[in-house]
Each structure stands twice: as C-alpha cells, then as structure tokens.
C-alpha cells in the first residue's frame, strides 16, 4: 500500500490515497457490494497491462503485440468456466451493468418485453429501472416480493403468462433469500422466454456451494467480480455454448471497445483464489456472519426485511421507528460503520431518503470477523439507531471506540 512513487509525481493524490487506506483500516465495512482484494489482485490491476490495447478476442485481435494479454485473458476465461461449471465465459465486461447490457443487445430488441425484479423490492438498475437503459429502451414488467420479503413465484408465473416476455431476469442487488433458479427456468420455458441470472451479489456463494447454482438452468449468467468474489471491479458473462458467438459480438464491438487487460489479469488472479479450499471456507463464513448479524439486530429489537437472511446481506427496516435510511447510514458512519441507505418493499420514502439500511458481511469476513464479532457489531448498530435522534456525543464516542477495537483486532493491509 506504499504510495511513495505516486507521491513523487502527485502529492495531493498520494495524501488522499493514504487517507483512504486509513479509512478502510479503521472502519467496519458493511456495504454488501464491497470487499477487500488480496494484494496480488491489486498488483495485477495496477500492472503493465494497463498500457496494452487489445480490441477483439484472444488470438483474434485488431492490434499486434497481444500474445501475453491473450494468454492471460484465456486463463481468466478457463478459470471462470471451471469455477462455475460454465460452457462459455467472456471476461471483458467493464462492469456488471455492462454485462447485462450486452445480454440485452444480443437477446432482445428495443421495445421487447423484459421481466425483472423491481428496484425498490431488491432488483438492480439494469433489470428495468426507468432511469436506466434497460427501462428506457425496453417494455419492462416488474415483479416484487411478498410481505415476508420473498419472491412469489406463482405471481411471477402469472405475470409471465400474461405479458410473454422475451427475457426474464432473476437475481438481485438486495434480496436476502435463496433464489429458486429451477422455478425461474420452468416459468421461462412455459412462456418461451430466455433466462438471465444476475449473480453479481452471490457469485462467491454459488461458486462455493453455499447457494444453488443457476448454471443448469439459465441461458446467460452475469456477475461482477468485486463483491463476494473478492476481485477487481469488473464483470463477466457466462452462457450456453449456443449463445457464445452472439454474446462475444455483443460485448465487442456491440457495447465496448478495448478491454481492460490489466483488470482482466486481476480477474484471473481472483478466480484462481476462488478455486481454492480456503475460499470455500471464506464463503461459508460469509453466510454464518450474516446470519449472526441479523440475529443480533433482531435480538436488539430491530426489524429485518424477511426476518433474517439466507445469504450475505440483509436490510434494516426502520419504518416502525420513524427513522430514515439516510439518517441512520450517516450516524453509523460517525461510529465507524459504513453501510448504505436502501429502500424497503413498499417504501414510503424516496430512493434518496429510504426507510432502510442494507448491511452485508463479505468485507468484514475477508478481514477475519467471526460470529461473536458480528454480535458486537449488531449491538453497536442497535445502540447507534437508538440514540440517532439525540446524537449523544459521549455515547457516539463510546460506540466509535468499540468499532475501532474490532478493527484493531483484525488489521487490514498491515504486513
């Protein structure tokens, strides 16, 4: 994490990077979509491949001098296929949203009907939000969750039979239950739709067997590489072999130009790490830690959407307390816990205010937290919520000291 070389050129940026490192070291990171990469992944992301342009596929480039980039990208493809038991993998997407865009470009035409989970119920912007390309150019039919915070598969089926979508999207950015990919496949087959599973959040859990896999069922599977998968910021598309050529063309030249070969190198390293036995233990602990945190919060009298979690995340429901997600996320940051405001189902607040706070266990699990630590984190959160109206400065200092003690127990990027 040495910034001396940067400092010789740009002291301002070096100072800010040092401050960011200190923030990460002294903060309990509960943003469900964030994680800490290994130093190996970070070094690959900052490698000499940042200098290389490599438009096209491995061994079929539009530029010369790509023989090393070709081999590295091929390694990333092979490792992705092995990790997920996928038929084909394209590791070039710059992000999960761009991976989804490429699937849209290949699978549907503007104006076609697409079904996806409503953003306010736990879906993602690229699953049909009206402010996103997916909602602007396609006829979106959204499904949500029931009063228990679970997908009502019969309702999904009824909507699909009524609207006959060309593409059905399953997967979410804020859903704490197990997704039944088999049921989605049955619905897609019954209605003649293609099936896209977006596993950006649960990729590591799928890879490690902690969540059922969509690969026997979905035509396309997209994921980010920087959440539970613990890699660099980027995306991957995997698909059935019959869709491979079309998906590759949809990525380049369809939606992107030159791939980020330095990030692809970091993806390759992260995928190798994910193939290890140690990674399987990590994924298992992610779920154990999330369950421990959810139980701790509920024991303290707080509401969780769906009354718990089956994966790596959960959402605090603050409606009965007449508090907003925006205010609670801000107070948590004061006591050294980073989270994000998030809507809850049927939220009376706007997406900029919200009635919920999303919490996740991937980053703290990478750091070394265990169940007993998550119980303490739950208690700190509960006490912060209780005093958020008064903002008792002495109590806030006490809670900050408790969170800092946990951070010091598990040093980050120290050696």
Is 241 tagged catalytic?
Answer: no
Is 225 tagged catalytic?
Answer: no
The radius of gyration computed from the CA coordinates of the chain, to the nearest angstrom, equals: 22
Q: What is the DSSP string of 257-297?
A: SS--HHHHHHHHHHHHHHTSHHHHHHHHHHHHHHHHHHHHH
pLDDT at 221: 98
Closest CA to 184 of 204, 198, 173, 174: 198
pLDDT at 172: 96
- With a CB cutoff of 8 Å and minimum separation 6, the contacts of 337 are 27, 28, 30, 377, 380, 381, 384, 403
What are the C-alpha distances in Å from 32 to residues 44, 102, 157, 355, 359?
24, 25, 29, 17, 6
pLDDT at 391: 85
Angle between helices 261-274 and 67-84 (to 10 degrees): 30
Query: Active site residue: 227, 323, 341, 367, which one?
Result: 227
Is residue 115 classed as helix, strand or coil in its secondary structure? Answer: strand
Query: Active site residue: 224, 309, 365, 366, which one?
Result: 224
pLDDT at 2: 86
Report yes or no: 305 and 317 within 8 Å, Cβ to Cβ.
Answer: yes
pLDDT at 66: 98
Q: Residue 12 CB: number of other CB atoms within 10 A? A: 9
Query: Active site residue: 81, 157, 233, 249, which one?
Result: 233
pLDDT at 1: 77
Please state the separation of Cα 160 from the chain's center in Å: 26
Is 227 tagged catalytic?
Answer: yes
- With a CB cutoff of 8 Å and minimum separation 6, the contacts of 241 are 87, 88
Query: Active site residue: 29, 73, 118, 198, which one?
Result: 198
* pLDDT 10s digits, 12-64: 999 999 999 999 999 999 999 999 999 999 999 999 999 999 999 999 999 99
pLDDT by residue, tens only, the chain of 415 residues:
789 999 999 999 999 999 999 999 999 999 999 999 999 999 999 999 999 999 999 999 999 999 999 999 999 999 999 999 999 999 999 999 999 999 999 999 999 999 999 998 999 999 999 999 999 999 999 999 998 899 999 999 999 999 999 999 999 999 999 999 999 999 999 999 999 999 999 999 999 999 999 999 999 999 999 999 999 999 999 999 999 999 999 999 999 999 999 999 999 999 999 999 999 999 999 999 999 999 999 999 999 999 999 999 999 999 999 999 999 999 999 999 999 999 999 899 999 999 999 999 999 999 999 999 999 999 999 999 999 998 899 999 999 999 999 999 999 998 7
Strand 356-360's sheet: what is its strand order? Answer: 303-304, 313-317, 356-360, 340-342
Query: Active site residue: 18, 34, 55, 87, which one?
Result: 55
Query: Active site residue: 7, 26, 53, 87, which one?
Result: 53
Closest CA to 53 of 70, 71, 75: 70
Closest CA to 314 of 326, 329, 303: 303
Is 55 tagged catalytic?
Answer: yes
- Separation between Cα atoms, residue 342 and residue 95, nearest integer Å: 21
Find the angle CA(298)-CA(315)-CA(226) to the nearest 5 degrees. Answer: 130
Is 198 tagged catalytic?
Answer: yes
Torsion of CA 207, 212, 214, 217, to 10 degrees: 140
pLDDT at 414: 84
The pairing of beta strand 337-338 with beta strand 28-29: parallel
């Amino acid at each position: 994490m040495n910034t001396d070389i940067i400092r010789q050129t740009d002291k301002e940026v070096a100072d800010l990077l040092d401050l960011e490192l200190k923030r990460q070291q002294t903060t309990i990171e509960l943003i469900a979509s964030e994680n800490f990469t290994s130093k190996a992944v970070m070094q690959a992301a900052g490698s000499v491949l940042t200098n290389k342009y490599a438009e096209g596929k491995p061994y079929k480039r539009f530029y010369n001098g790509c023989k090393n980039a070709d081999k590295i990208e091929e390694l990333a493809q092979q490792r992705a296929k092995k990790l997920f038991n996928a038929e084909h993998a394209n590791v070039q997407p710059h992000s999960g949203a761009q991976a989804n865009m490429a699937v849209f470009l290949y699978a549907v035409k503007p104006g076609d009907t697409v079904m996806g989970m409503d953003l306010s119920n736990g879906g993602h912007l690229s699953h049909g939000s009206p402010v996103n390309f997916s909602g602007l150019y396609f006829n979106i039919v959204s499904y949500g969750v029931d009063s228990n915070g679970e997908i009502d598969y019969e309702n999904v089926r009824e909507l699909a039979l009524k609207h006959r979508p060309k593409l059905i999207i399953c997967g979410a950015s804020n859903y704490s239950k197990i997704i039944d990919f088999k049921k989605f496949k049955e619905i897609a087959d019954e209605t003649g739709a293609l099936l896209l599973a977006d596993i950006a959040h649960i990729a590591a859990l799928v890879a490690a067997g902690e969540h059922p896999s969509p690969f026997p069922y979905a035509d396309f599977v997209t994921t980010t590489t920087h959440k539970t998968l613990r890699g660099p910021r980027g995306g991957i598309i995997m698909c059935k072999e019959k869709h491979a050529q079309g998906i590759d063309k949809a990525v380049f030249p369809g939606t992107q130009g030159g791939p980020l070969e330095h990030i692809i190198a970091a993806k390759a390293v992260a995928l190798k790490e994910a193939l290890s036995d140690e990674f399987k233990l990590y994924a298992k602990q992610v779920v154990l830690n999330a369950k421990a945190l959810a139980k701790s919060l509920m024991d303290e009298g707080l509401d969780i959407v769906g009354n718990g979690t089956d994966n790596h995340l959960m959402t605090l429901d603050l409606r009965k307390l007449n508090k907003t997600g925006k205010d609670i996320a801000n107070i948590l940051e004061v006591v050294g816990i980073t989270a994000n405001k998030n809507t809850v189902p049927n939220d009376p607040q706007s997406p900029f205010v919200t009635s919920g706070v999303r919490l996740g266990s991937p980053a703290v699990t990478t750091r070394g937290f265990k169940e007993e630590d998550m119980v303490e984190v739950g208690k700190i959160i509960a006490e912060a919520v209780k005093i958020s109206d008064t903002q008792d400065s002495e109590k806030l200092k006490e809670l900050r000291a408790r969170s800092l003690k946990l951070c010091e127990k598990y040093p980050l990027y120290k050696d």
